[in-house]
């Protein structure tokens, strides 16, 4: 649409609501809605209050320097060290507290205290010093979910060197591109990682990447599988050997608040990857504050973010946020279904997890497997559930609450991005009235709006573009080496407003409903429809476990809705069910949203972070050459879906 019309038509309506659990507010980190008003009246003061919870080596001069927008700077003049905030300051009172309960996919386990983690980080930081890494240096990390990964990150932070973590499922080419763009001089990897019962050859992939990355002088390799790997003398070193030989005393370097802590590259885009730059003081403020408030963190909680550290969720809510708050976390190496569908619930029971944070795609997978798997495990200690990665449909939200949260645990559906660094929109569990499918409202200190094509606020209930209209501490500072691209990508569409790239609507109560990526909006007969609404309507049907929809070119309507559906275990699919599903969507939303075609498939193409690759489904729907599939966790499913789509004729009325 153009002019003052809605950028995205929002058709789906809200349903049931859930008030906060009775008796929770008096003991909550934030127990009153007054926090919103206080932060709105003085957002900079709010963020200064959050920053004061950290340990600063020297105070800041100016909380927010907004003199050169959009290049905002936070807590300028202040100095601190991220590793010291995550480790050293906890030692006097929490040194013997477990930082991580770690479990390997083959079944090996260990727990590491803050004191033990501190010593290992100090030793490895000294080992990196011996390799020439110092303040301002740059280190690439390409690892699976083993304890050496957060140790490496924190060792870099201790020295004042920036790190970039490359997800362990990426190819050698992706690793090479990121190392080169980042300017890394050291790569930290491991011999193999375990995933779904298989060994992933990280060292071999690293060797292929290093052959085309002459700037990397050293490759540090953690032992995991103990199997032989190729070795380049003078370049390759064993992680454990150099750590054990190093001195355990390594003072933390006070770093300027705006010193780069890390860069993280976005995946799934074409062309040069975007290096999202996060700095030290503002990022740590946002990550630690939101971890504490969104999850209502208590002293006896056992917290599990079931993500991978290779993504921003793992950076903020496995490493920096929880450790800055002195929390005890669970860290799991492998696949949730290995060796059985019980694995994730066995882990939650074993460590008495009280807070679980995972992705909607994972939740829908657990739904597909059936209710019996969680039922045989004691999950009664779970009191907070979190969702991250993409909008969660109401059916999955309800299943999560009922079957994992015992029908009482609040579900905090969080919206944020690699670029934002920390959670931006989320319920507060002791304050918010929850609506399945809604991310609730912006966090205290965050100012968000929904605008139309003209940059003006759209009326309540209409869809538009989600924007942030005030700077926040954990925001990205730029794209590494490309300030112009940073401005063009995020700030040029609506001057003065950060464009998130997501569609959204705000209901009459002021709650935000995310509608998916702007790129995923479908234009059907002049109506701009969001993928998430149609997908939610499909998953609302009791036969459906998961769904993805895309728009494919259509001569009559501009685009037609093509749906790809996985059924719950034990449900048989046939033409009658497809017709029923199409009519179900029409009933739930309206005839305009009725899928033109539905393909029933055993799985959907997903990245290893759990996001559905709708770009590939569009390629399949329009019978185009498939795009890059190297980031997928299940490459083979794309070929299967393509064959099904050809065999399954369009089903328009």
Instruction: For residue 1, name the pLDDT band (cuts at 50, 70, 90).
Output: very low
How many CA atoms lie within 13 Å of 195's alpha carbon, on the beta-carbon side?
15
Percent pLDDT > 90 in the chain is: 76
What are the DSSP calls for 105-147, one per residue?
TTS-EEEEEHHHHHHHHHHHHHHHHHTT--TT-EEEE---SST
Among candidate residues 3, 11, 10, 2, the one with its CA nearest the CA of residue 504 = 10
Whether residue 309 is predicted with pLDDT greater than 80 in this model: the reply is yes
Please provide the distance, in angstroms rounded to a whole number, between the alpha carbons at the two ends of the chain.
26
Query: What pLDDT, on the 0 to 100 scale, is given for residue 629?
Result: 52
Query: What is the rounded average pLDDT for all residues in the chain?
Result: 91
Residue 178, classed as helix, strand or coil, is helix
Among candidate residues 72, 146, 556, 150, the one with its CA nearest the CA of residue 322 = 150
Residues 6+ apart with CB under 8 A from 61: 76, 77, 78
Among candidate residues 437, 416, 413, 417, the one with its CA nearest the CA of residue 427 = 413
Query: What pLDDT, on the 0 to 100 scale, is given for residue 269?
Result: 41
Whether the link from the prior residue into 506 is cis, omega within 30° of 0, is no
Q: For the domain made up of 21-77+256-446, give the CATH fold.
A: Rossmann fold (3.40.50)
Q: Report how far apart, in Å, the C-alpha atoms of 653 and of each of 137, 579, 583 are.
A: 62, 10, 11
- d(CA 646, CA 637) in angstroms, rounded, equals 14
Query: How much helix, strand and coil, in percent to the nearest 5, is found in the chain?
Result: 30, 25, 45
Q: From the CB of residue 249, how many other CB atoms can be counted at a distance below 10 Å?
A: 9
Whether residue 475 is predicted with pLDDT greater than 50 in this model: the reply is yes
Instruction: For residue 8, name the pLDDT band (cuts at 50, 70, 90).
Output: low
Boundaries of every domain in the chain? 21-77+256-446, 80-244, 521-647
Query: What pLDDT, on the 0 to 100 scale, is given for residue 633?
Result: 56
| Alpha-carbon 255 to chain mean position | 26
Q: Contact, 74 vs 56, CB < 8 A?
A: no
CATH of 80-244, one of 3.40.50.980, 3.40.50.360, 3.40.50.150, 3.40.630.40: 3.40.50.980
Cα dihedral 329, 334, 338, 341 sign: positive
Residues 6+ apart with CB under 8 A from 241: none
Whether the link from the prior residue into 351 is cis, omega within 30° of 0, is no
- pLDDT tens digits for 385-422? 999 988 898 999 999 999 999 999 999 999 999 999 99
Whether residue 334 is predicted with pLDDT greater than 90 in this model: the reply is yes
Name which of 80-89, 214-223, 290-299, 591-600 the model is least confident about.
591-600
Whether residue 167 is predicted with pLDDT greater than 60 in this model: the reply is yes
- pLDDT tens digits for 48-62? 999 999 999 999 999
- pLDDT tens digits for 507-546? 999 999 998 888 777 777 666 677 877 888 899 899 999 9
One fold for both 21-77+256-446 and 80-244?
yes
Instruction: Identify the DSSP state of 402.
Output: I
Q: From the CB of residue 414, how many other CB atoms can be counted at a distance below 10 Å?
A: 25
Hey, what are 73's tokens? 């700077």
CATH class of 521-647: alpha beta
- pLDDT tens digits for 96-129? 999 999 999 999 999 999 999 999 999 999 999 9
Among candidate residues 148, 185, 182, the one with its CA nearest the CA of residue 166 = 182
Instruction: Give the angle subtended at the CA of 309 by the CAs of 305 and 310, to the nearest 5°.
Output: 140
Hey, what are 421's tokens? 């660094």
Query: What pLDDT, on the 0 to 100 scale, is given for residue 9?
Result: 61
Name the pairing type of β-strands 544-554 and 558-567.
antiparallel
- d(CA 334, CA 250) in angstroms, rounded, equals 32
């Amino acid at each position: 649409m153009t002019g003052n019309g809605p950028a995205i038509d929002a058709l789906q309506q809200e349903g049931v609501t859930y008030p906060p659990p009775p008796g929770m507010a008096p003991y909550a980190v934030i127990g009153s809605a007054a926090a919103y008003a206080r932060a709105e009246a003085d957002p900079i003061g709010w963020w200064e209050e959050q920053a004061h919870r950290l340990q600063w080596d020297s105070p800041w001069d100016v909380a927010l320097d907004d003199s050169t927008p959009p290049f905002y700077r936070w807590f300028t003049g202040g100095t601190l060290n991220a590793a010291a905030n995550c480790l050293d300051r906890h030692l006097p009172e929490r040194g013997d507290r477990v930082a991580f309960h770690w479990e390997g996919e083959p079944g090996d386990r260990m727990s590491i205290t803050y004191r033990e983690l501190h010593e290992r980080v100090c030793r490895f930081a000294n080992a990196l010093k011996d390799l020439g890494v110092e303040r301002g240096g740059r280190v690439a990390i390409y690892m699976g979910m083993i304890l050496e990964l957060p140790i490496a990150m924190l060792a870099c932070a201790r020295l004042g060197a920036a790190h970039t973590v490359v997800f362990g499922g990426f190819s050698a080419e992706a690793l090479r591109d990121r190392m080169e763009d980042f300017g890394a001089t050291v790569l930290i990897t491991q011999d193999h990682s375990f995933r779904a019962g298989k060994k992933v050859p990280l060292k071999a992939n690293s060797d292929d990447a290093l052959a085309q990355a002459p700037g990397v002088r050293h490759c540090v390799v953690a032992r995991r599988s103990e199997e032989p790997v190729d070795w380049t003398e003078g370049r390759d070193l064993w992680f454990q050997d150099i750590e054990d030989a190093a001195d355990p005393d390594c003072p933390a370097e006070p770093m300027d608040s705006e010193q780069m802590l890390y860069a993280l590259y976005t995946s799934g885009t074409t062309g040069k990857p975007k290096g999202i730059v996060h700095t030290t003081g503002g990022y740590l403020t946002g990550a630690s504050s939101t971890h504490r408030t969104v999850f209502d963190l208590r002293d006896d909680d056992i917290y599990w973010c079931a993500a991978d550290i290779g993504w921003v969720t793992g950076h903020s809510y496995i490493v920096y946020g929880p450790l800055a708050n002195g929390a005890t976390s669970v860290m799991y190496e492998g696949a949730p279904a290995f060796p059985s569908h019980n694995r994730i619930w066995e882990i939650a029971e074993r460590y008495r997890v009280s807070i679980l944070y995972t992705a909607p795609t994972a939740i829908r997978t657990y739904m597909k497997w059936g209710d019996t798997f969680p039922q045989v495990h004691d999950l009664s200690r779970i009191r907070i559930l979190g969702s991250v990665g993409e909008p969660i449909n109401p059916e999955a939200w309800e299943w999560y609450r009922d079957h994992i949260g015992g029908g009482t645990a609040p579900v905090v559906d969080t919206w944020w991005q690699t670029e934002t660094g920390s959670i931006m929109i989320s319920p507060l569990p002791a304050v918010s009235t929850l609506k399945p499918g809604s991310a609730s409202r912006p966090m205290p200190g965050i100012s968000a709006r929904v605008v139309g094509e003209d940059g003006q606020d759209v009326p309540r209930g209409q869809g538009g573009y989600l924007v942030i209209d005030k700077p926040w501490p954990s925001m990205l500072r730029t794209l590494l080496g490309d300030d112009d691209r940073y401005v063009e990508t995020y700030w040029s569409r609506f001057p003065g407003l950060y464009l998130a790239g997501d569609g959204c609507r705000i209901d009459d109560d002021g709650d935000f409903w995310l509608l998916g990526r702007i790129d995923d909006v479908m234009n059907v007969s002049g109506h701009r429809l969001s993928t998430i609404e149609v997908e939610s309507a499909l998953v609302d049907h009791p036969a459906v476990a998961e769904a993805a929809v895309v728009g494919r070119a259509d001569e009559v309507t501009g685009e037609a809705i093509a749906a790809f559906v996985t059924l719950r275990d034990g449900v048989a699919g046939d033409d009658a069910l497809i017709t029923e599903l199409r009519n179900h969507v029409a009933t739930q939303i309206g005839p305009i949203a009725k899928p033109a075609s539905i393909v029933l498939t055993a799985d959907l193409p997903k990245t290893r972070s759990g996001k559905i690759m709708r770009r590939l489904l569009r390629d399949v729907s329009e019978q185009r050459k498939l795009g890059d599939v190297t980031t997928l966790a299940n490459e083979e499913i794309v070929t299967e879906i393509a064959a099904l789509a050809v065999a399954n004729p369009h089903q328009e009325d």
